[in-house]
């Protein structure tokens, strides 16, 4: 029927892999009979004739299939499939149908891999976009099965992979998007952007997941999870307010401090050892309403990445965890509006293109309105609200340069007094701003430069008449540059640097009218600069062995204008030093090595281990045991506070049970932390210039085992997580120098989350959390003084609160059919459905009044009758939220 000019080596391996992909694709009609009469034509010419006659498209690398070879073909009314079969057999080619294309490949390619064919390398790079909105997709997977290689888009949606010449079948995937299989002929360096389509179903899968292991740096990464913002928005939420921070409670190894708190602990670390970044800028205190709600609204978030330890070298600054949040860029293609109404707040988002396909704007705001209800009962209340505003503008200058401007402002305000007066109350605010410049030096070398600033302000107006304000602040202005060199599929190198200027106001009184009227101690301001350089190298040594190593070097310098005190062993002042502005008077140089290694038993199973050192120079100084955020202050490392240092060892077993539906992992960790801070009994934290004398230092240890079973896809999704851990501290001068359990030590932690799509328009989800009660100090006896019963304590944290558990459910009803322009839904949620009373404190100093109220006694005419009491928050809390989008 035809004659071939040249033979090729037979191969089948690649096609076997590729055929796994076929079922998800639409196929051209290969049964269509066609007629071809080609004599001594090039293969390319023959294929073109087939293409025209059969109405099909071919993709191939001309050099790979030698399309210039001459063949003859003469058939009449023969189905296309038969022609292709014969052609491929004769020419030792293979074909596969990919997205309505016939992809032709040469046989025996794998065998040529070692013979120099691979030496000719080309890079494929570009961005991956959401086709509908034009937003870049962070963490989209691009997999080349036949090479068992892949790449994941970086936080700016960029990817780069270097491969031998050839035709490749790329498998693109991203949560909530249709998988896409795209053939790419790589015979030169190619810049190619990909666009993925959103899943038609409006209901979302609820997913926490690891990064794809195919990417070289992801292959060795441990203790990292991604939490999809869409998942957060359908998880049962307190008062119907989806909350990024509170949703972390379901992640093994992360414990919230309690109900109504945004403070959390990761793997035995303290609450200030977690770095929350929003577009690279730190959010120092992510709470609204003292912690009932967090500042991070899922509507404005594109990606949430959680590192529970084993942080890559490009990150630093905190000991225990990193919550890396990227805000949405905004729709590049069309303007849209979305929003919601709940019991607590109203939210609204506007996004759209400024220059279509080139730049976009995103604005999202939230404003509480429950203050109005309180105002009905407390007329003196002037203001009581919180608000958030997130904005972002991005602009593609050209293919090699992009700019991003983003900002966040969150504010809480409680005030009393005459309308228009701001004289008495509490207010705090978070402000962040980031300017980022992405630049491509080449197809393989990506850089990002960020200039960012953050500020957290806290003001407590304590006296209406004198207008005295206690004010604390922490702020930074920083610049960082990161370079990523995608050297080849088996090697990615990252280098970068950071410079930060930090300022701290540890809390001072200020008078709005007369500075002389306020006679309070002055707590010295603190200033410091931080310079960090890092390097990391991730590489696949063999198919079964990957390694990631790197280090971060940090230089921390304290500078004036400041006052520093020296203390003797009894914590009495021995010297006072005054430093002028910008005078450097103290510094620390620290090295943070990071290493990770993975052994791949098979493509679905790996054993990984890692070691990292992390350093922290910013310390939250508070002896509060309240789950609420109050009047905390920050202090930097300095002459009296050494940097906190943690050595973290992790090891784990990871297994995909039925790819990609279920994943199972066991991770063990051990963390040793030095220079940990605790406080003397009843330390005076506010307005104390000598507050450093109230601090005590020592070490802490934590160890644990985390087990996680996840089902990421399908109608039923969710996870089951269990953690067994211990966290202890040993601080000089505390608890008679003996080790004691940390108050956040919760040995058993179990979380179960399931979501189920009942239909295309109804989704239900449920959440059950169980934790051992936290440790606290209970009295061992009491004594009396001046009518008061005073507790005597023996050992620190000698007792435990009752175990914590809670069950929440929610249901989401889509009110419209799919694909309607106006999309709206209703979310009904019941938090703590069985009304569990989870105490946050046990008290031994209260009486019961005749009305049954539990209060502190004030009448000591005779000895009051005291009770043990438990204080708890939030019984059963139903809520309803209406969401819309158009």
Binding letters toward another protein, positions 798-817, x by CB under 8 A = xx------------------
Q: Which of 26, 116, 781, 822 binds another protein (CB under 8 A)?
A: 781
If the CB atoms of residues 759 and 849 are measured against another protein, the closer one turns out to be: 849
State how far the Cα of 323 lies from the Cα of 326, in Å rounded to an integer. Answer: 10
**Those residues with Cβ within 8 angstroms of residue 360's Cβ, 6 or more apart along the chain or in another chain:** 134, 135, 329, 330, 331, 332, 351, 352, 353, 354, 393, 394
If the CB atoms of residues 200 and 861 are measured against another protein, the closer one turns out to be: 861
Under rule CB under 8 A, which residues in 381-400 are in contact with another protein? 381, 384
User: And the tokens for 726?
Assistant: 């211990």
Under rule CB under 8 A, which residues in 170-229 are in contact with another protein? none
If the CB atoms of residues 68 and 799 are measured against another protein, the closer one turns out to be: 799
User: And the tokens for 155?
Assistant: 């936080």
For residues 433 and 407, the answer to whether their CB atoms sit within 8 Å is yes
State how far the Cα of 121 lies from the Cα of 168, in Å rounded to an integer. Answer: 13
Q: Rule CB under 8 A: say whether 859 interacts with another protein.
A: yes
Stretch that binds another protein, among 307-315, 487-495, 701-709, 865-873 (CB under 8 A): 865-873
Under rule CB under 8 A, which residues in 647-706 are in contact with another protein? 679-687
Stretch that binds another protein, among 225-233, 545-553, 576-584, 770-778 (CB under 8 A): 770-778
Stretch that binds another protein, among 248-256, 272-280, 295-303, 833-841 (CB under 8 A): 833-841
Quick one: which of 352, 306, 317 has its CA closest to 332? 352
Residue 464: CB minimum distance to another protein, A: 7
Q: Which of 86, 624, 699, 816 binds another protein (CB under 8 A)?
A: 624
* Residue with tokens 């997913």, as numbered in its chain: 207
For residues 275 and 322, the answer to whether their CB atoms sit within 8 Å is yes
If the CB atoms of residues 796 and 812 are measured against another protein, the closer one turns out to be: 796
For residues 291 and 260, the answer to whether their CB atoms sit within 8 Å is yes
Residue 613: CB minimum distance to another protein, A: 29
Beta bridge partners of 619: 635
Q: CB atoms < 10 A from the CB of 376, how many?
A: 8
User: And the tokens for 880?
Assistant: 């309803």
Residue 423: CB minimum distance to another protein, A: 11
End-to-end CA distance of the chain: 59
Q: Which of 16, 794, 876, 880 binds another protein (CB under 8 A)?
A: 794
Q: Which of 9, 625, 716, 880 binds another protein (CB under 8 A)?
A: 625
Burial of 90 (0-12, 13-18, 19+ CB in 10 A): middle
Q: Rule CB under 8 A: say whether 573 interacts with another protein.
A: no
What is the three-class DSSP state of 497?
Answer: strand
State how far the Cα of 297 lies from the Cα of 277, in Å rounded to an integer. Answer: 14
Under rule CB under 8 A, which residues in 444-463 are in contact with another protein? 460-463
Residue 546: CB minimum distance to another protein, A: 45
Under rule CB under 8 A, which residues in 460-479 are in contact with another protein? 460-464, 470
State how far the Cα of 709 lies from the Cα of 752, in Å rounded to an integer. Answer: 10
Distance of CA 525 to the CA centre of its chain: 32
Q: Rule CB under 8 A: say whether 874 interacts with another protein.
A: yes
Residue 866: CB minimum distance to another protein, A: 5
Q: Which of 24, 52, 541, 854 binds another protein (CB under 8 A)?
A: 854
* Residue with tokens 């240890």, as numbered in its chain: 701
User: And the tokens for 280?
Assistant: 């690279």
State how far the Cα of 531 lies from the Cα of 554, in Å rounded to an integer. Answer: 6
Q: Rule CB under 8 A: say whether 857 interacts with another protein.
A: yes
For residues 267 and 671, the answer to whether their CB atoms sit within 8 Å is yes
If the CB atoms of residues 203 and 461 are measured against another protein, the closer one turns out to be: 461
Q: Rule CB under 8 A: say whether 778 interacts with another protein.
A: yes
Q: Rule CB under 8 A: say whether 57 interacts with another protein.
A: no
Quick one: which of 691, 745, 688 has its CA closest to 571? 691
Q: Rule CB under 8 A: say whether 518 interacts with another protein.
A: no
Q: Which of 60, 174, 292, 565 binds another protein (CB under 8 A)?
A: 292
Q: Rule CB under 8 A: say whether 785 interacts with another protein.
A: yes
Q: Rule CB under 8 A: say whether 779 interacts with another protein.
A: yes
If the CB atoms of residues 110 and 623 are measured against another protein, the closer one turns out to be: 623
Stretch that binds another protein, among 77-85, 155-163, 546-554, 619-627 (CB under 8 A): 619-627
What is the three-class DSSP state of 19?
Answer: helix
Q: Rule CB under 8 A: say whether 776 interacts with another protein.
A: yes
**Those residues with Cβ within 8 angstroms of residue 563's Cβ, 6 or more apart along the chain or in another chain:** 524, 576, 577, 578, 579, 689
Phi, psi of 874 (to 5 degrees): 50, 95
Q: Rule CB under 8 A: say whether 846 interacts with another protein.
A: yes
For residues 294 and 323, the answer to whether their CB atoms sit within 8 Å is no
User: And the tokens for 35?
Assistant: 């007629």
If the CB atoms of residues 188 and 786 are measured against another protein, the closer one turns out to be: 786
State how far the Cα of 352 lies from the Cα of 130, in Å rounded to an integer. Answer: 14
Q: Rule CB under 8 A: say whether 426 interacts with another protein.
A: yes
For residues 500 and 529, the answer to whether their CB atoms sit within 8 Å is yes
Q: Which of 441, 599, 860, 886 binds another protein (CB under 8 A)?
A: 860
Burial of 189 (0-12, 13-18, 19+ CB in 10 A): middle
Stretch that binds another protein, among 104-112, 190-198, 329-337, 841-849 (CB under 8 A): 841-849
State how far the Cα of 420 lies from the Cα of 422, in Å rounded to an integer. Answer: 6
Burial of 872 (0-12, 13-18, 19+ CB in 10 A): middle
Q: Which of 844, 878, 880, 886 binds another protein (CB under 8 A)?
A: 844
| Beta pairing class for 584-602 and 633-636 | unpaired
If the CB atoms of residues 330 and 507 are measured against another protein, the closer one turns out to be: 507
Q: Rule CB under 8 A: say whether 736 interacts with another protein.
A: no
Q: Rule CB under 8 A: say whether 343 interacts with another protein.
A: no
What is the three-class DSSP state of 194?
Answer: strand
- The per-residue DSSP string of 389-452 comes to EEEEEEEEEETTEEEEEEEEEEEEEEEESSTT---EEEEEEEEEEEEEEEEESSSSEEEEEEEE
Quick one: which of 310, 835, 239, 260 has its CA closest to 609? 310
Give the single-character DSSP code of 250.
Answer: G
Residue 636: CB minimum distance to another protein, A: 22
Stretch that binds another protein, among 353-361, 373-381, 437-445, 667-675 (CB under 8 A): 373-381
Q: Which of 115, 188, 398, 786 binds another protein (CB under 8 A)?
A: 786
Residue 341: CB minimum distance to another protein, A: 20
If the CB atoms of residues 288 and 494 are measured against another protein, the closer one turns out to be: 288
Under rule CB under 8 A, which residues in 400-419 are in contact with another protein? 414-416
Q: Rule CB under 8 A: say whether 875 interacts with another protein.
A: yes
If the CB atoms of residues 55 and 787 are measured against another protein, the closer one turns out to be: 787
User: And the tokens for 400?
Assistant: 């090699």
Q: Rule CB under 8 A: say whether 516 interacts with another protein.
A: no
Q: Which of 519, 569, 575, 819 binds another protein (CB under 8 A)?
A: 519
Residue 267: CB minimum distance to another protein, A: 22
For residues 439 and 447, the answer to whether their CB atoms sit within 8 Å is yes
Q: Which of 866, 882, 884, 885 binds another protein (CB under 8 A)?
A: 866
Residue 742: CB minimum distance to another protein, A: 12
If the CB atoms of residues 483 and 679 are measured against another protein, the closer one turns out to be: 679
């Amino acid at each position: 029927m035809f004659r071939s000019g040249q033979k090729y080596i037979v191969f089948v391996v690649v096609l076997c892999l590729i055929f796994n992909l076929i079922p998800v694709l639409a196929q051209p009609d290969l049964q269509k009979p066609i007629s071809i009469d080609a004599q001594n034509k090039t293969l390319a010419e023959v294929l073109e004739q087939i293409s025209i006659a059969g109405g099909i498209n071919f993709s191939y690398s001309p050099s790979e299939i030698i399309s210039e070879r001459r063949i003859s073909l003469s058939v009449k009314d023969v189905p296309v499939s038969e022609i292709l079969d014969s052609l491929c057999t004769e020419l030792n080619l293979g074909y596969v149908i990919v997205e309505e294309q016939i992809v032709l490949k040469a046989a025996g390619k794998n065998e040529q891999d070692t013979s120099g064919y691979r030496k000719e390398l080309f890079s494929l790079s570009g961005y991956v976009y959401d086709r509908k909105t034009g937003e870049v997709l962070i963490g989209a997977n691009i997999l080349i099965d036949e090479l068992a290689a892949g790449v994941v888009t970086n936080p700016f949606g960029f990817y780069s992979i270097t491969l031998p010449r050839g035709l490749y079948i790329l498998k693109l995937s991203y949560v909530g998007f249709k998988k896409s299989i795209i053939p790419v002929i790589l015979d030169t360096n190619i810049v190619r952007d990909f666009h993925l389509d959103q899943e038609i179903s409006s209901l979302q899968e609820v997913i926490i997941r690891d990064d794809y292991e195919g990417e070289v740096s992801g292959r060795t990464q441990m203790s990292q999870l991604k939490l999809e913002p869409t998942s957060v928005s359908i998880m049962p939420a307190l008062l119907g307010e989806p909350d990024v921070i509170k949703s972390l409670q379901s992640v093994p190894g992360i414990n919230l401090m309690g109900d109504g708190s945004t403070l959390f602990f990761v793997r035995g670390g303290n609450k200030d050892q977690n770095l929350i970044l929003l577009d690279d800028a730190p959010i120092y205190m992510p709470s609204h309403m003292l912690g009932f709600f967090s500042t991070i609204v899922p509507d404005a978030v594109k990606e949430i990445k959680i590192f529970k330890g084993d942080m890559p070298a490009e990150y630093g600054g905190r000991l225990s965890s990193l919550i890396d949040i990227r805000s949405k860029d905004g729709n590049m293609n069309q303007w849209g509006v979305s929003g919601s109404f709940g019991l607590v707040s109203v939210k609204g988002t506007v996004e759209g293109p400024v220059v279509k396909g080139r730049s976009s704007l995103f604005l999202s705001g939230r404003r509480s309105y429950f203050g109005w209800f309180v105002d009905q009962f407390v007329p003196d209340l002037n203001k009581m609200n919180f608000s958030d505003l997130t904005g972002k503008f991005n602009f593609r200058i050209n293919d090699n340069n992009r700019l991003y401007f983003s900002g966040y402002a969150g504010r809480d305000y409680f005030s009393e007094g005459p309308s228009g007066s701001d004289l008495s109350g509490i207010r705090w605010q978070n402000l962040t701003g980031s300017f980022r410049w992405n630049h491509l030096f080449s197809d393989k070398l990506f850089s990002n430069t960020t200039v960012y600033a953050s500020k957290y302000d806290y003001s407590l107006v304590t006296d209406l008449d004198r207008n005295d304000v206690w004010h604390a602040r922490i702020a930074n202005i920083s610049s960082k540059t990161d370079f990523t060199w995608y050297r080849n599929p088996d090697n990615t190198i990252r280098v970068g640097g950071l410079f930060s200027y930090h300022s701290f106001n540890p809390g001072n009184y200020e008078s709005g009218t007369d500075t002389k009227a306020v006679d309070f101690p002055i707590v010295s301001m603190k200033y410091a600069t931080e310079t960090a350089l890092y390097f990391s190298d991730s590489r696949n040594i063999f198919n079964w062995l990957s390694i990631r190593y790197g280090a971060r070097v940090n230089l921390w310098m304290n500078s004036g204008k400041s006052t520093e005190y020296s203390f003797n062993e009894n914590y009495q002042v021995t010297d006072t030093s005054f430093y002028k502005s910008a005078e450097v008077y103290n510094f620390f140089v620290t090295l943070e090595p990071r290493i990770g290694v993975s052994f791949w038993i098979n493509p679905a199973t790996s054993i990984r281990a890692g070691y990292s050192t992390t350093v922290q120079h910013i310390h939250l100084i508070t002896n509060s045991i309240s789950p609420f955020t109050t009047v905390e202050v920050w202090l930097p490392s300095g002459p009296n506070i050494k940097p906190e240092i943690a050595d973290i060892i992790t090891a784990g077993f990871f297994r995909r049970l039925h790819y990609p539906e279920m994943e199972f992992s066991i991770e063990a960790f051990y963390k040793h932390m030095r220079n940990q801070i605790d406080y003397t009994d009843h330390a005076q934290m506010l307005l104390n210039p000598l507050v450093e004398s109230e601090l005590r230092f020592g070490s802490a240890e934590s160890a644990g085992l985390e087990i996680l079973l996840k089902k990421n896809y399908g109608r039923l999704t969710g996870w089951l997580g269990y953690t067994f851990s211990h966290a202890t501290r040993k601080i000089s001068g505390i608890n008679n120098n003996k080790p004691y359990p940390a108050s956040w030590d919760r040995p058993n932690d179990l979380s179960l989350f399931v979501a189920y799509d009942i239909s295309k328009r109804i989704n239900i989800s449920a959440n059950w959390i169980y934790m051992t009660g936290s440790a606290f100090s209970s009295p061992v006896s009491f004594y009396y003084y001046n009518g008061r019963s005073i507790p005597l304590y023996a050992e620190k944290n000698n007792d435990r609160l009752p175990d914590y558990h809670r069950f929440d459910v929610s249901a989401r009803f889509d009110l419209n059919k799919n694909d309607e322009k106006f999309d709206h839904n209703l979310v009904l949620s019941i938090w703590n459905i069985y009304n569990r009373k989870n105490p946050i404190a046990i008290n031994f100093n209260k009486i019961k009044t005749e009305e049954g109220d539990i209060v502190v006694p004030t009448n000591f005419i005779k000895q009051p009758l005291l009770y043990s009491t438990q204080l708890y928050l939030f019984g059963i809390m139903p809520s309803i939220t209406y969401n819309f989008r158009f």
